[in-house]
Amino acid sequence: MPSGGINLKSLALREIKKRLAFDVVNIRGARVLAPGHDWDDIYAAFNQLLSIRLLSITNIRMCKKRIVAARALWSKEQTELNAIADLCNQKQLECLERAGKRAEKRLIRDVVDPAPDGKRGPGRPRKILAPSPTPAAVASQERRSYLQSLLPPTEEKSK
């Protein structure tokens, strides 16, 4: 059994994406929804997706693409699709605000405590520590010093 457990948010997103993957088939030149999908299930999946508090921009883009596809299939439910599109736009604005706050925090952090080389990449520590020697490097250094002690002392030539 894995030590970390299950990430419920990612599991829920995966299930919602499966429910939003409605298939379209062409019958005599007309696009028709494949059997097994109905409006109530799709509408519930849209609402569940948009009820997630912290939604990433990739999920928002996927939702917008599904809304465009749903507009072509369900012409009578345009008011519900408009409400879903408004929620999606609101989530997108929230996501952009979070990204702006992260960028502002990063800028302030770099002004207050700049990185030694002027660059700070993802996952990089604030203070770069000297690397500790590996056991193999320590062993080779000990072997080298032992061999040096076995050799007779050499006299330096004077010029």
pLDDT tens over the chain, length 159 residues: 456 677 888 888 888 888 888 777 777 777 677 677 778 888 888 888 888 888 888 899 999 998 998 888 888 888 999 999 999 999 999 999 999 999 999 888 888 877 666 566 555 555 555 666 666 666 677 777 766 777 776 666 555
The reported pLDDT for the residue numbered 72 is: 83
CA separation for the pair 50, 55 (Å, rounded): 8
- Of residues 98, 11, 83, 99, the one with CA closest to residue 50: 83
Report the residue count for the chain.
159
The reported pLDDT for the residue numbered 1 is: 44
Interacting residues of 32 by C-beta distance below 8 A, sequence separation 6+: 24, 25, 26
The reported pLDDT for the residue numbered 84 is: 92
In eight-state DSSP terms, residue 56 is -
Cα distances from 37 to residues 15, 23, 46, 152, in angstroms, run 15, 8, 13, 88
What's the predicted TM-score (pTM) here?
0.60
Q: Can you give the residue ranges of every domain in the chain?
A: 8-119
The reported pLDDT for the residue numbered 117 is: 64
Two tokens at 60? 């928002």
